[in-house]
């Protein structure tokens, strides 16, 4: 690493306290004359990543971890020893995580820590190994794959930013240079994927002369994540909002403030199968939603939508399998599926742009929209468009035609950057080919170690275990001979799974298994632009914390790079008024704020409750079944108390710390008893990288009502 990279008092080099952000130029490799990263295979150089990591992690002694977390030292060591035991060649472990890790201002770094542990233990690329997300919603994986985050394009490409006004400057920024010689560096193919996307977006309008319509793409000046958007809304800078399958009044932090934001809109459109709290934010529901409807001028349009079981389509699971599903029933009443609603809005808007012009009609008018029924694109049409088509005969390097014009693409390897292929999500190429809908396959034959390549279809390239080349050593010998997933047959790689490696690169070729990284290796150091809050993970307290000084003895107590809006500051509480730590979560009986609308689910957990540790309950004189009030600096909820031993009193930094559990399911709509939206309590701040709200730790007070 460069000599000017450093870490001191909780801050990495390059911190600008005023902007609350880092200049990341020092988070970089030392380079040789050819521009490659300097390496020391003996790991003796003190500036090696592993040595800097050792130094960084050495501060986290078991005593310090116990002080910071309240987990007794012996329990922490038990977990460490159990995990470390899986570093043996014939053992592996998987780490499953969910929102308990993401809902923090340093959530991305928590997950990254787990990934680094798995890398260090040799548990990546092994069958049954890795780090696996359990998604909060069934199709969050698909949502991310399709680039629905505000700074992304489909297939994990970046949306251009405003400093990238030309295609050339964008490509220069996003196509990675080789950090090491001889590595795959697969993202060097980005231009092929990008141009194929542009050919889908703009069709015949995307030409080499107009840089494939690059000017029509939005260029971001800042993140437009949901926290940012509702902040803008609160400032009166947003006219209208379409909530598609989204209940922001219930799902976003600081519900009372979200309600104020929605009240400043001129119009709100909801597309939902359910009568959501958001579509009723203007209704007075007593203490559950204490508003004056006559003061709210927002016009609300409620468009009833079908639910997933009432339409064909695919859902991507956490293992990246695209599984096709079929319509099980017709949607009730006047409900339409989302494609029909969006297609109708789009065609009507486009007709208005065609007739009246407008500030910038080109992106709308030039958008390719060649569906059989423009106002009702079918899931099948959209799925094929994601896979992509050949727009001209595609030849291999010997001139042989491998894909004919008009055919569906067999995979992303045939994509071109000359406009002869179209695909709006390159990683989905291969999901619907000339052989048919691969996502609808249901052959569960086990080809080895539980691999079922004939069941549905996994991106990329139907590969089931990412980085599976790492399950063998450099010479190509499996770490665990009893559990070999791929093998070199003298000419090619093959096996039970699709190899995640160049098929003809032999063992000992020096090609690293991490083909998406320009270094070819797993990354313990997130240099460059990857993360905003540090190349190594660091523990920071939540924004609202009862801890006033860290056991790490540093000045930066909280994540110094988390975005913090000025008008959120007065909404944060202090431990004197709010001495307990609350956390929100889901319970198995109910799914978010949806299934409370279903009578049987409502019967299973009919009434709002909070969980209180038995020691805290004893101190406050609260018995199971009593009504309690839980309040934060942003509002309060009242609910039944479930007194439990499961929420333990922790000893953190030498002080008793009591926790309150707040399940977030009830609201003022649905079949269950009316309750308060749990997000009345939560703070409006997000993870420094992903802007996922900090729902898992904040300060509250508890009183018996």
Partner 1 sequence: MGMQSQDIIRRSATNGLTPLPQARSHEQEVAKLIDVSLCTGCKGCQVACSEWNDLRDEIGHNVGVYDNPANLTAETWTVIRFDEREDEAGKLEWLLRKEGCMHCAEPGCLKACPSPGAILQFANGIVDFQSEQCIGCGYCIAGCPFDIPRISQKDNHAYKCTLCSDRVAVGQEPACVKTCPTGAISFGSKAEMKDLAATRVQELQSRGHEGAGLYDPAGVGGTHVMYVLTHADQPSLYHRLPDNPQISPVVRGWKEWLKPVGALGFIATLAGAFVHYMGVGANTTDETPPPEPKSKQDNAEHDPNENGRDA
The count of other CB atoms within 10 Å of the CB of residue 207 is 13
645 binds partner 1 (CB under 8 A): yes
Judged by CB, which is closer to partner 1: 59, or 648? Answer: 648
Q: Please select the residue that binds partner 1; options are 626, 636, 651, 656, rule is CB under 8 A.
A: 626
Residue 35's contacts (CB-CB under 8 Å, 6 or more residues apart) are 177
Structure tokens at 477: 């010998």
671 binds partner 1 (CB under 8 A): yes
Q: Please select the residue that binds partner 1; options are 396, 623, 655, 705, rule is CB under 8 A.
A: 623
Q: How far apart are CA 554 and CA 544, in angstroms?
A: 17
- Please state whether beta strands 15-16 and 11-12 pair in parallel, antiparallel, or not at all (unpaired): unpaired
Residue 508's contacts (CB-CB under 8 Å, 6 or more residues apart) are 474, 475, 476
What's the closest the beta carbon of residue 41 comes to partner 1, in angstroms?
43
Q: Please select the residue that binds partner 1; options are 83, 642, 650, 653, rule is CB under 8 A.
A: 642
What's the closest the beta carbon of residue 671 comes to partner 1, in angstroms?
6
Residue 311's contacts (CB-CB under 8 Å, 6 or more residues apart) are 327, 331, 337, 339, 379
Stated length of the chain: 705
Q: Identify which range of 312-320, 327-335, 575-583, 624-632 contacts partner 1 by CB under 8 A.
A: 624-632
Q: Please select the residue that binds partner 1; options are 335, 440, 602, 700, rule is CB under 8 A.
A: 602
679 binds partner 1 (CB under 8 A): no
Judged by CB, which is closer to partner 1: 263, or 598? Answer: 598
608 binds partner 1 (CB under 8 A): yes
User: What would the x/- binding string for partner 1 be over residues 530 to 569, using CB under 8 A?
Assistant: ----------------------------------------
CB burial class (10 A; 0-12, 13-18, 19+) of residue 372?
exposed
Judged by CB, which is closer to partner 1: 292, or 645? Answer: 645
Judged by CB, which is closer to partner 1: 469, or 596? Answer: 596
Give the total of residues touching partner 1 (CB under 8 A): 29
Judged by CB, which is closer to partner 1: 188, or 597? Answer: 597
Given a contact cutoff of 8 angstroms between Cβ atoms, the answer to whether 142 and 107 are in contact is no
Q: Please select the residue that binds partner 1; options are 366, 640, 649, 690, rule is CB under 8 A.
A: 640
- 3 state SS of 350: helix
Whose tokens are 């799914």? That residue is 591
Q: Identify which range of 296-304, 341-349, 508-516, 645-653 contacts partner 1 by CB under 8 A.
A: 645-653
Strand locations in 154-239 (E): 157-158
Q: Please select the residue that binds partner 1; options are 50, 134, 352, 603, rule is CB under 8 A.
A: 603
78 binds partner 1 (CB under 8 A): no
What's the closest the beta carbon of residue 626 comes to partner 1, in angstroms?
7
Nearest-10 Cα torsion for 281, 287, 292, 296: -20
Q: How far apart are CA 557 and CA 540, in angstroms?
A: 6
Q: Please select the residue that binds partner 1; options are 525, 578, 609, 676, rule is CB under 8 A.
A: 609
Q: What are the distances in angstroms from CA 416 to CA 371, 426, 540, 612, 685?
A: 24, 11, 45, 59, 42
- 3 state SS of 673: coil
Judged by CB, which is closer to partner 1: 355, or 645? Answer: 645
Structure tokens at 661: 């559990």
Q: How far is CA 190 from the centre of its chain?
A: 21
Given a contact cutoff of 8 angstroms between Cβ atoms, the answer to whether 19 and 46 are in contact is no
Q: Please select the residue that binds partner 1; options are 153, 485, 641, 700, rule is CB under 8 A.
A: 641
Given a contact cutoff of 8 angstroms between Cβ atoms, the answer to whether 509 and 662 are in contact is no
Burial 532-541 (b: 16+ CB within 10 A, else e): bbbbbbbbbb
Judged by CB, which is closer to partner 1: 269, or 641? Answer: 641
Judged by CB, which is closer to partner 1: 178, or 587? Answer: 587
Q: Identify which range of 12-20, 213-221, 320-328, 641-649 contacts partner 1 by CB under 8 A.
A: 641-649
User: What would the x/- binding string for partner 1 be over residues 10 to 29, using CB under 8 A?
Assistant: --------------------
Q: Please select the residue that binds partner 1; options are 456, 643, 700, 702, rule is CB under 8 A.
A: 643
Whose tokens are 């999901």? That residue is 431
Q: Please select the residue that binds partner 1; options are 625, 655, 703, 705, rule is CB under 8 A.
A: 625
What's the closest the beta carbon of residue 664 comes to partner 1, in angstroms?
15
- Give residues 647-666 in contact with partner 1 (rule: CB under 8 A): 648
What's the closest the beta carbon of residue 653 comes to partner 1, in angstroms?
22
620 binds partner 1 (CB under 8 A): no
Q: How far apart are CA 487 and CA 477, in angstroms?
A: 8
- Give residues 149-168 in contact with partner 1 (rule: CB under 8 A): none
646 binds partner 1 (CB under 8 A): yes
The count of other CB atoms within 10 Å of the CB of residue 54 is 12
Judged by CB, which is closer to partner 1: 536, or 609? Answer: 609
β-partners of residue 269 are: 242, 301
Torsional sign, CA 5, 8, 12, 13 = negative
328 binds partner 1 (CB under 8 A): no
Report DSSP letters for 219-256, one per residue.
-BSS---HHHHHHHHHTT---EEEEES--HHHHSS-HH
The count of other CB atoms within 10 Å of the CB of residue 9 is 10
Q: How far apart are CA 666 and CA 675, in angstroms?
A: 5
Judged by CB, which is closer to partner 1: 398, or 645? Answer: 645
- Give residues 580-599 in contact with partner 1 (rule: CB under 8 A): 587-589, 599
What's the closest the beta carbon of residue 674 comes to partner 1, in angstroms?
11
CB burial class (10 A; 0-12, 13-18, 19+) of residue 14?
middle
User: What would the x/- binding string for partner 1 be over residues 297 to 326, using CB under 8 A?
Assistant: ------------------------------
What's the closest the beta carbon of residue 203 comes to partner 1, in angstroms?
45
Question: Any idea what DSSP says for residue 667?
Answer: -
71 binds partner 1 (CB under 8 A): no
What's the closest the beta carbon of residue 606 comes to partner 1, in angstroms?
5
Q: Which residues bind partner 1 (CB under 8 A)?
A: 587-589, 599-609, 623-626, 640-646, 648, 671-673
């Amino acid at each position: 690493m460069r000599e000017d990279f450093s870490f001191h008092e909780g801050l990495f080099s390059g911190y600008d306290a005023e902007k609350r952000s880092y200049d990341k130029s020092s988070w970089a490799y030392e380079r040789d004359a050819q521009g490659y990263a300097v390496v020391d295979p003996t790991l003796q150089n003190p500036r090696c990543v592993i040595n800097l990591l050792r130094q960084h992690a050495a501060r986290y002694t078991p005593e310090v971890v116990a002080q910071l977390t309240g987990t007794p030292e012996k329990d922490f060591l038990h977990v460490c020893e159990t995990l470390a035991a899986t570093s043996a060649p014939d053992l592996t472990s998987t780490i499953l995580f969910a929102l308990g890790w993401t809902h923090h201002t340093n959530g991305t770094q928590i997950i990254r820590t787990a990934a680094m542990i798995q890398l260090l233990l040799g548990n990546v690329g092994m069958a049954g190994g890795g780090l696996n997300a359990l998604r909060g919603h069934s199709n969050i994986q698909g949502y991310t794959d399709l680039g629905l985050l505000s700074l992304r394009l489909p297939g994990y490409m970046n949306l251009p930013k405003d400093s990238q006004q030309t295609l050339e400057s964008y490509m220069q920024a996003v196509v990675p240079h080789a950090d090491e010689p001889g590595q795959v560096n697969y993202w060097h193919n980005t231009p092929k994927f990008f141009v194929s996307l542009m050919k889908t977006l703009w069709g015949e309008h995307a030409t080499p002369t107009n840089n494939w319509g690059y000017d029509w793409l939005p260029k971001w000046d800042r993140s437009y994540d949901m926290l940012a958007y509702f902040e803008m809304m609160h400032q009166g800078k947003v006219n209208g909002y379409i909530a598609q399958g989204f209940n922001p009044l219930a799902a976003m932090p600081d519900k009372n403030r979200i309600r104020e934001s929605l009240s400043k809109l001129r119009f709100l459109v909801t597309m939902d199968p359910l009568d959501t709290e958001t579509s009723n934010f203007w209704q007075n529901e007593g203490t559950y939603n204490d508003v004056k409807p006559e003061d709210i001028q927002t016009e609300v349009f409620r468009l009833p939508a079908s639910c997933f079981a009432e339409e064909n389509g695919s859902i991507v699971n956490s293992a990246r399998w695209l599984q096709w599903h079929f319509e099980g029933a017709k949607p009730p009443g006047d409900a339409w599926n989302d494609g029909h609603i969006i297609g109708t809005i789009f065609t009507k808007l486009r007709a208005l742009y065609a007739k009246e012009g407008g500030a910038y009609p080109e992106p709308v008018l030039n958008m390719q929209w060649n569906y059989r029924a423009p106002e009702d694109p079918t899931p099948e049409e959209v799925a094929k468009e994601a896979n992509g088509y050949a727009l001209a005969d595609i030849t291999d390097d010997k001139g042989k035609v491998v894909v004919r014009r008009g055919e569906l693409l067999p995979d992303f390897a045939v994509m071109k950057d000359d406009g002869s292929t179209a695909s709006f999500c390159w990683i989905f190429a291969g999901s619907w080919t000339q052989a048919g809908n691969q996502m609808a396959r249901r052959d569960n034959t086990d080809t080895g170690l539980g691999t079922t390549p004939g069941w549905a279809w996994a991106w990329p390239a139907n590969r089931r275990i990412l980085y599976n080349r790492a399950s063998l050593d450099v010479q190509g010998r499996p770490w665990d001979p009893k559990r070999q997933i791929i093998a070199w047959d003298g000419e090619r790689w093959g096996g039970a799974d699709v190899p995640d490696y160049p098929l003809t690169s032999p063992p000992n070729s020096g090609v690293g298994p991490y083909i998406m990284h320009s270094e070819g290796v797993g990354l313990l150091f997130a240099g460059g632009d990857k993360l905003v809050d540090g190349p190594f993970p660091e523990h920071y307290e939540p924004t609202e914390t009862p801890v006033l000084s860290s056991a790490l003895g540093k000045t930066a107590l909280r994540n110094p790079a988390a975005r913090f809006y000025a008008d959120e500051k007065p909404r944060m509480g202090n431990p004197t008024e709010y001495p307990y730590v609350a956390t929100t979560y889901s319970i198995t009986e109910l799914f978010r704020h949806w299934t409370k609308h279903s009578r049987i689910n409502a019967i299973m957990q009919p009434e709002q409750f909070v969980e209180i540790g038995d020691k805290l309950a004893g101190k406050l004189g609260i018995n199971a079944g009593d009504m309690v009030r839980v309040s934060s600096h942003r509002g309060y909820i009242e609910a039944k108390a479930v007194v439990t031993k499961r929420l333990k009193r922790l000893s953190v930094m030498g002080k008793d710390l009591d926790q309150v559990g707040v399940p977030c399911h009830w609201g003022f709509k649905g079949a269950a008893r009316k309750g308060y939206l749990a997000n009345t309590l939560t703070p409006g701040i997000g993870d420094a990288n992903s802007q996922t709200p900090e729902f898992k730790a904040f300060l509250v007070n508890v009183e018996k009502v």
